[in-house]
Amino acid sequence: MNRIYNFSSGPAVLPLTVLEQAQRELVDFEGSGMSLMEMSHRGKIFDAIIKAAETNFRTLMGISDDYAVLFLPGGASQQFAMIPLNLLLPGTSADYINTGSWATKAIKEAKIVGDVNVIWDGKADNYMSTPDLAGLRFTANAAYVHLCSNETIGGIRFPEFPKTDAPLIADMSSDIMSRVIDVNQFAMIYAGAQKNLGPSGMAVVVLRKDLAERCPDTVNYFFRYKTHMPEPSLYNTPNTWAVYIFKLITDWAIEQGGVAAIQKWNEEKAAAVYRVLDASPFWKPCANPANRSIMNITWRLETEELEKKFVAEAAAAGLDGLKGHRSVGGIRASIYNAFPMEGITALTAFMEDFAKKNG
């Protein structure tokens, strides 16, 4: 087997041990004579899997019983719409912090439902930073405050989170479980699974239970959070395979020592790449240093032709997925939780050699 180093922004690298276990269990799950994907989502086997997945996640993230944990379809993009449908009631408004492409998409969906106040917009510096928290001015009696904790395209993150009177909601799709957070600071966090939690097509939602009761009766049942809470995530047939992989990944995360250990590892990986970027003017890192992501590292070179050469030669060397997002160009290394340190060593060695040959 010739495994490359996969720097894709998502769907992204998964732990090799998880992939190997899924491979072993694919056709005959635990001696049942059938695949997990063929089983009833209400059977005993899957019931044990989804309960273990939730328990693991609550343990890793420190989630209390005041919050529901839901596995919902549609990824984070569906949540962009479900949040205002459930919480942006007539006569109210919501505050949004715009730090880039994903926050912009969330704002676009919310404006269809009701009044939105964009209380900070990073467009002036091409979304290369997050706001000074002390300078934020929240709307009195806002229904909620929404932010994206880590923007994959710009490669920026909130190093800390604002303290708000209104319920704070965070799209954590690209840095969920990458660092220790206080879940109790948030009314809701959500994440598409395909970065740190498993395959695409599923979102994990952590929602304070009392918030779900706000939803008006005019919202279709499927799009109400409270519909999915009595039998958690079983109102319709969930993505059973995604839940299974999520369970395996959270098993893996616990084996690594939990989120604190993963954070330390992530910081070491990111620091190694940033050291190379900061060591020579050949590299042109994009993000404001105070807001640099430890999941998505972005940089430019002197010309687009040189960037194309870098990406092509890196791919030939087994370093794939380094092309920046089509909307901004440049180079991006996504190094999520499962990305190995060996891949960082290979990347930094390649970068140093490329700079010598092309500088």
**Residue 102 known to be catalytic:** yes
The span from the CA of 75 to the CA of 80, in Å, is 9
Which residue among 171, 175, 247, 283 is the active-site one?
Answer: 171
Which residue among 195, 247, 269, 323 is the active-site one?
Answer: 195
Looking at this protein, which amino acid is placed at residue 79? Q
**Residue 123 known to be catalytic:** no
> The tokens of 180 are what?
């220790």
| Distance between start and end Cα atoms, the chain | 35
Which residue among 95, 102, 252, 283 is the active-site one?
Answer: 102
Handedness of CA 90, 91, 95, 100 (dihedral sign): positive
Is the distance from CB of 149 to CB of 100 less than 8 angstroms? Answer: no
Burial 295-322 (b: 16+ CB within 10 A, else e): bbbbbbbeeeeebeebbeebeebebebb
> The tokens of 241 are what?
């395979």
DSSP 42-76: TSHHHHHHHHHHHHHHHHHHT--TTEEEEEEESHH
**Residue 356 known to be catalytic:** no
Catalytic (active-site) positions? 102, 171, 195
